[in-house]
């Protein structure tokens, strides 16, 4: 399990904007997660999948599309929490 970053806020109905952890300049291409990677919370519950990567290369942002089975209240709890890639 690899740490993705911290959830900044919700965007739309089932989307989360995550600010990624800083990436070392010597290995930028090998350390970015792939699109459609599964995102989990600290309890290893599946939250969603990465659908977009944007922002600066060394400190990227990720758009995570939530799974339909996750309720809105569970999404609200994720703000300011760390999320991980499985």
pTM above threshold 0.85: yes
Mean pLDDT, rounded, for 1-30: 83
Query: Which tokens is 53 given?
Result: 């990567």
Supply the pLDDT for residue 27: 57
Question: Between 49 and 59, where is the model more confident?
Answer: 49
- Ranges of beta strands (E only) in the chain are 2-11, 15-20, 38-40, 46-54, 61-66, 82-85
Residue 70's pLDDT band (cuts 50, 70, 90): confident
Residue 66's pLDDT band (cuts 50, 70, 90): very high
User: What is the number of helices (H) and of strands (E) in the chain?
Assistant: 2, 6
> Domains in the chain, please, with CATH?
2-85 (2.40.10.230)
Question: Between 28 and 64, where is the model more confident?
Answer: 64
Supply the pLDDT for residue 26: 64
Q: How many residues in total does the chain contain?
A: 86
């Amino acid at each position: 399990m690899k740490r993705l970053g911290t959830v900044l806020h919700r965007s739309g109905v089932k989307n989360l904007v995550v600010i990624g952890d800083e990436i070392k300049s010597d290995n930028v291409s090998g350390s970015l997660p792939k699109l459609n990677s599964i995102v989990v919370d600290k309890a290893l519950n599946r939250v969603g999948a990465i659908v977009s990567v944007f922002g600066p290369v060394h400190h990227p942002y990720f758009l995570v599309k939530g799974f339909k089975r996750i309720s809105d209240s569970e999404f609200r709890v994720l703000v300011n929490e760390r999320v991980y890639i499985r």
